[in-house]
Chains A and B, each alone.
Chain A
């Protein structure tokens, strides 16, 4: 929901980032206000995941210039864990498996860290069980997954649900969901979408990275951005996603190039 007077949550200005001296982000600009849902689309390799990981603080990427501020604070100066604590959540495109670390224990530790930050009381094992049960229902996930190691042996779709479960427990201020829809069957997509919708509040925001219009029928975006070669080339409303679905990316890149040519 767009309300021009609502608070600015995330502001990315002229962000450049590289991996081993290879530039990947080449000047990203983006403003996200409370209550808004943004979709980021773009070709494979255009830099969408890189953008999400730079926001979350992945050590492989070096920010060479530009800034990212989160609720007025310099996000780039914070450690990845601090970013998470203050309310930045990244749902990974490829969640890693962590053998030997219990999913339940991991979820409890992470939840309590976030609760500490928001001034809520920490939950003991029993209280946490109760909370996790309600959140499991939200994503319609089998409680058996709690007993296993983090993501270990989870199917692609199960890993994505586990990401949404974490989001539901951590209640972030901004959730960046990197292709949470890919690999989900149609029912799972609805479940995940309804989870995201239930969790979004006027005070929070969502950044959806997706290739498919399908998800955007379930979670209606306020803005759709198209990334190409490490930049946001174009921003529009929901109709932009529909146009992309019909005509692909060529026409945008061509129009932009011809504009730049003049």
Chain B
């Protein structure tokens, strides 16, 4: 409690378009205090690291932003709309948006914030409250069109600082978009990111999310998606390298009749703790979900997956499949995986499954018996394992990471 109060007291007075959000959130945070292990959603989280986040000062102007990747990768090919989200600057200052992308006016934005259930969620969800207590800038875009260039949102970090970032994307009816988000942590940085996405009727969004930390970096990110009927939302995420990371994709099929695909990959080593807490809510009939979560945990790392699926009475003929497949690469590593299905409707097909296994000794030996070194064989098998998720990434996403390099670090 004290930690939260102190943190809130250090914040600058509420101001700007997000003034109301800030006020409500700060109050909520003071009421909540820090999450405890008694709360189901935080049962496994390393609370000491969470506390450390609150010890960091909020991003200050004139600090150098760090994008922890080779500069040449960062440079976007010409066909991509790249926006770098600096927590303190209007992210659009230096970007010219092409046709199809429009910034929400402050009136539109205010309306959006007021009519969404945002204020309620702030009071229910600690990560949302934390973000809104401190964000000053917001990137809010209305997007319309079928032949749009891919949108790339780059979210850098500041070493030694806490950086909150906030985005709203509204995809209009029939719109088709490829969205890539890259969150890049650096030594002892902390990031809170919140993105709201509305996928309009019959619209289609391919969403890639690359979260690469470094050092003692931590990340709390929530992806809140509302899907209209006929819409198609595909999410593919890669998480690696965070002392603490928590990804919360929360999907709501507002009227059912939509398609959702969630694919997640967590690769952990050292003492990292990587978590995915997904939630899919079907609020109408004939919704579809295909979810696959994969984990490779090595050394003393810890991976968490919690997959909530909610199928109320109204969501008849829902077809949902959730699979969690995990590789435990060391006996010091830990994997916790938990489906959380609440199914009230009776005419539905919902399946779920979870496996935890080691790398197959027979597969390793087969490769070795053909002259392939044990380490190379391990990387080959790991890569094959990850490929099932990585196949869902857009070609342009691959310039942000070299999977071979990444896997070479996994022992």
Contact = CB atoms under 8 A, between A and B. Distances in A.
A204 interface: no
Nearest to B362: A96
Interface stretch (B89-97, B244-252, B365-373): B365-373
A84 B387 contact: no
A57 B371 CA distance: 12
20 contacts: A56-B369, A59-B361, A60-B361, A81-B371, A81-B373, A84-B368, A84-B369, A92-B366, A96-B360, A96-B362, A99-B384, A100-B383, A100-B387, A100-B388, A101-B384, A106-B380, A117-B371, A166-B370, A170-B370, A170-B371
A80 B369 contact: yes
Interface of B: 360-363, 365-374, 377, 380-381, 383-385, 387-388
B372 A110 contact: yes
B372 A96 contact: no
Contact of B384 (A58, A60, A98): A98
A52 B363 CA distance: 17
A58 B371 contact: no
A90 interface: yes
Interface of A: 56-60, 79-81, 83-85, 90, 92, 95-96, 98-101, 106, 109-110, 113-114, 117, 149-150, 166, 170
Contact of A81 (B362, B368, B384, B387): B368
Contacts of B377: 81
A200 to B, nearest CB: 20
Contacts of A90: 369
A231 B153 CA distance: 67
Contacts of B365: 58-59, 80
A81 B372 contact: yes
Given A92-B366, A100-B385, A100-B388, A113 B372 contact: yes
Given A59-B361, A98-B363, A100-B384, A79 B370 contact: no
B371 A114 contact: yes
A50 B387 CA distance: 34
A96 B371 contact: no
Given A84-B368, A149-B384, 17 more contacts: A57-B369, A60-B361, A79-B374, A80-B368, A80-B369, A81-B373, A83-B369, A84-B371, A95-B366, A96-B363, A98-B363, A99-B384, A101-B384, A106-B370, A110-B370, A117-B371, A166-B370
Contacts, number: 66
Nearest to B360: A96
A110 B371 contact: yes
A80 B369 CA distance: 6
Nearest to A113: B371
Contact of A106 (B361, B362, B367, B374): B367
B374 A81 contact: yes
B366 A98 contact: yes
A113 B368 CA distance: 11
B381 A98 contact: yes
A79 B372 contact: no
List 6 A-B pairs, minimum CB-CB distance, nearest first.
Answer: A100-B384, A110-B370, A84-B371, A113-B371, A80-B368, A81-B368
Contacts of A149: 384
Interface centre among B363, B370, B385 (most CB of A within 10 A): B370
Contact of B372 (A56, A83, A109): A109
Contacts of B380: 101, 106
A144 B363 CA distance: 22
A59 B367 CA distance: 13
Contacts of B385: 100
Contacts of A150: 366
Contacts of A166: 370
A149 B391 CA distance: 15
A248 B366 CA distance: 33
A59 to B, nearest CB: 7
B63 to A, nearest CB: 42
Contacts of B374: 79, 81
B370 to A, nearest CB: 4
A90 B365 CA distance: 11
A200 B269 CA distance: 47
A117 to B, nearest CB: 8
Contacts of B363: 96, 98
Nearest to B365: A58
Contact of B371 (A85, A95, A99): A85
A109 to B, nearest CB: 6
Contacts of B369: 56-57, 80-81, 83-84, 90, 92
Contacts of B361: 59-60
A117 B368 CA distance: 15
A90 B370 CA distance: 9
B239 to A, nearest CB: 20
Contacts of B370: 84, 106, 110, 113, 166, 170
Contacts of A84: 368-371
A100 B360 CA distance: 13
Contacts of A101: 367, 380-381, 384
A127 B366 CA distance: 25
Contacts of A92: 366, 369
Contacts of A96: 360, 362-363, 366
A170 B373 CA distance: 16
A222 B61 CA distance: 83
A80 B366 CA distance: 9
A99 B385 CA distance: 8
Contacts of B372: 81, 109-110, 113
Nearest to B373: A81
Contacts of A58: 365
B19 to A, nearest CB: 51
A90 B381 CA distance: 20
A109 B380 CA distance: 11
Contacts of A85: 371
